[in-house]
């Protein structure tokens, strides 16, 4: 019940639908505020989903987790992460994923481990996943 689909199908659909609804392609996105709960299974599935959506371009997309800095706010997490994503677009600054001491080789994403990074962003995604396969993803475009 609490495990995501092993291939990340719900996450893939949510990200692709958010991009479609916004009229964006994966190539437009420079940042993903990941669900990123730091659970081995959840993070691996999310990394697989990101790879399915972004393909070989994934290495050029900054992916960080707000939860690494503030913890998991349960029902409020998605709202706070959406705000952080909008501010990242406005300010051109992507926050790091804190406390990442040994990256999982199965999570081949740029988690911005070295500290905040200036990035010229056109668009970004904010993803939220919950128990039972509930998924949501918002696409943001810089004004």
Query: Does pLDDT of 42 surpass 90?
Result: no
Right CATH for 9-134 from 3.40.50.11890, 3.40.47.10, 3.40.1190.20, 3.40.50.360: 3.40.47.10
Residues 6+ apart with CB under 8 A from 138: 18, 82, 85, 125, 126
Residues 6+ apart with CB under 8 A from 139: 18, 19, 21, 22, 24, 29, 123, 124, 125
Q: Judging by DSSP bridges, how do beta strands 29-33 and 123-130 pair with one another?
A: parallel
Bigger pLDDT: 40 vs 15: 15
Class of residue 74 by CB neighbours under 10 A (exposed 0-12, middle 13-18, buried 19+)? exposed
Secondary element (H or E) of residue 130:
strand 123-130
∠ CA 40-41-45, rounded to 5°: 115
Query: Is this prediction's pTM over 0.75?
Result: yes
| Percent above pLDDT 90 for the chain | 66
Residues 6+ apart with CB under 8 A from 68: 36, 38, 96, 97, 98, 99, 100
98-135 pLDDT, tens digit each: 988 888 888 889 999 999 999 999 999 999 987 767 88
Contact between residue 40 and residue 104 where contact means Cβ atoms under 8 Å apart: yes
- Can you give the residue ranges of every domain in the chain? 9-134
């Amino acid at each position: 019940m609490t495990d995501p689909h092993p291939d990340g199908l719900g996450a893939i659909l949510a990200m692709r639908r958010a991009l479609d609804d916004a009229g964006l392609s994966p190539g437009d996105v420079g940042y993903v505020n990941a669900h990123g709960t730091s659970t081995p299974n959840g993070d691996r599935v999310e990394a697989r989903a990101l790879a399915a959506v972004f393909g070989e371009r994934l290495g050029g997309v900054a992916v960080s987790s707000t939860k690494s800095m503030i913890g998991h706010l349960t029902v409020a997490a998605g709202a706070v992460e959406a705000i952080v994503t909008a501010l990242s677009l406005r300010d051109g600054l992507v926050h790091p994923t804190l406390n990442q001491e040994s990256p999982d080789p199965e999570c081949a994403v740029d988690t911005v481990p070295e500290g905040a990074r200036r990035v010229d962003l056109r668009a970004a995604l904010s993803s939220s996943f919950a128990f039972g396969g509930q998924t949501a993803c918002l696409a943001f475009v810089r004004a």
